[in-house]
Structure 1
Amino acid sequence: MRARTASLTVLPLLGGCSLAPSVYMAGSYFPAWLVCVLLAVLLTVLVRWGLIRAGVDDVMPMRLPVYACLTLALTFAALLLFFE
């Protein structure tokens, strides 16, 4: 009885797994979020390079959280822009 109740409780949550966005690359399907993360990391490296050349990177007090948040923001923006 408990297993049946547990399976009926979890069953509606599985509907979100049916249509995961994926991208066809190099002969196989990659998850869309993985492509967006790679794009965001590359863009963050370019932004960091620009900030270093402008001299702003030296005066930032917390670089790691700034670049981590920038990567997350760029990832979410890419997901919204390309896959929604």
Structure 2
Amino acid sequence: MTLAIWPLTGCVSTGAPAIPLFGAYFPSWLLAALLGIVGAVIVRLLFVRIGIDDALPVRLPVYVCIAAAIGFAISLLGFGR
């Protein structure tokens, strides 16, 4: 029986990471998404200043992907998920 359960040892229910804010618990992905959007806005301002923004053929998907990449990186580095 123990040998059959051994592959499931990585499936531990630790609960979702939450951030206490103003007496309520918010999911960590919400903070990661918000910081990703803010990061994408900062990257856009940087691209406009450098002149790269005019050369982008499809701006919206590029900035959405940048926001997602920043959000995923913050989630992975900050919360380990």
Q: TM over 0.5, yes or no?
A: yes
C-alpha separation in 1, matches of 2:33 and 2:71:
5
Output aligned runs, 1:40-79, within 5 Å.
Answer: 40-79=36-75
Indicate the structure with greater helix content.
1
Following TM superposition, by how much is the alpha carbon of 1:27 offset from its aligned partner in structure 2, in angstroms?
1.7
SS at match of 1:61: coil
2:31 alignment counterpart: 35
Corresponding pairs, count: 70
In structure 1, runs of 5+ residues without a counterpart are: 1-14
C-alpha distance 32-56 of structure 1, shift in aligned 2 (>3 A): same
Following TM superposition, by how much is the alpha carbon of 1:16 offset from its aligned partner in structure 2, in angstroms?
7.8
Task: Compute the RMSD of aligned alpha carbons.
Answer: 1.6
Following TM superposition, by how much is the alpha carbon of 1:23 offset from its aligned partner in structure 2, in angstroms?
0.5
C-alpha separation in 2, matches of 1:36 and 1:51:
22
- Which TM-score applies when normalising by structure 2? 0.79
